[in-house]
Amino acid sequence: MKVAVFSTKAYDRQFLEAANPQNQHELVFFEPRLDRDTAILAAGFPAVCVFVHDRADALTLELLASQGTRLIALRCAGFNNVDLKAASELGMTVVRVPAYSPYAVAEHTVGLILSLNRKIHRAYSRVREGNFSIEGLLGFDLNGRTVGIIGTGKIGQIVGQIMKGFGCHLLAYDVYHNPEVEKLGAKYVELSELFANSDIITLHCPLTPQTHHLINIQSIQQMKPGIMLINTSRGALIDTTAAIEGLKSGKIKYLGIDVYEQESDLFFEDLSDEIIQDDVFQRLITFPNVLITGHQAFFTEEAIRNISETTIANMTDFEQGRPCQNEIAAQQKVAAKV
């Protein structure tokens, strides 16, 4: 099957081509993101393969359908960038990669915690400049601290396992209780109790209307002074303006994020020679106690290999008329993480 692959980077091509030989799909790679302006590139392609910042809104899908596209293959877990209702009405099938490597995201989460706590990113810069002073680099023992995990699916569970290994106490919040998390000794509590008693809060829940700006002015006010806040899930879980106010007041002492609510105009691109126009983001990076990575938590060899293999398998299922377990129905309410 002929497939237009949008938002292509070198690693996408490498891993997708490695996963494709037995299936023999004709993969055509495009660097631009999919949107209503670039949809013309997919003319005559039965399938398009897209990533988290491609925009498959109703108009884009109508353009694709009019050109013969019948399959939208997401090489990620989240699908909030696809108008599922429009896809269904147009007779288009949407498939995704529901899981790839929860260890990748969980381990990156812990990396942010360690780096922020011991100020490793600041120490690295100092030493490269010949500054060996340790003033201002004071951290704290993780042992005995309380970690609040919001969202206890597989990623949240693994974060809990790692932090338990450090000797941390665990609080958890989720609509569904995970027995494996409970076996770690975690206590499921309401959000207000988690906010009030955690030294570190880490987010691992999907982005839904209910979780949009879960971290806001009101929730930050409920947190302990000096809280460490980590987000490797979805950018819009945090109201960035509220987080900045929390940083300015000292309520938030550490902020580590791999996602940002307006990241689609920034992340995955080299903008080092450009003036970034996002004033909120520019303000955020002025804080010495903020550590931002560019949506790379998922980015391990194992994860990219799993994503590529599942994406190719999804395409093959569709081409051969087999039911695909990774198809997303328009009525689905489940949201997931990249």
Torsion-angle region of 44 (φ positive above 0: left; ψ -120 to 50: alpha; else: beta): left
Structural contact between residues 336 and 206, judged by C-beta atoms closer than 8 angstroms? yes
Structural contact between residues 297 and 105, judged by C-beta atoms closer than 8 angstroms? yes
Helix (H) or strand (E) holding 254: strand 252-257
- In order of 40, 57, 74, 101, the CA distances from 77 in angstroms are 25, 17, 7, 11
Residue 222: is it exposed, middle or buried by C-beta count within 10 angstroms (0-12/13-18/19+)?
Answer: middle
Kindly state the DSSP code that residue 21 receives in the 8-state scheme: T
Structural contact between residues 280 and 260, judged by C-beta atoms closer than 8 angstroms? no
| Active-site annotation, residues | 234, 263, 295
Residue 92: is it exposed, middle or buried by C-beta count within 10 angstroms (0-12/13-18/19+)?
Answer: buried
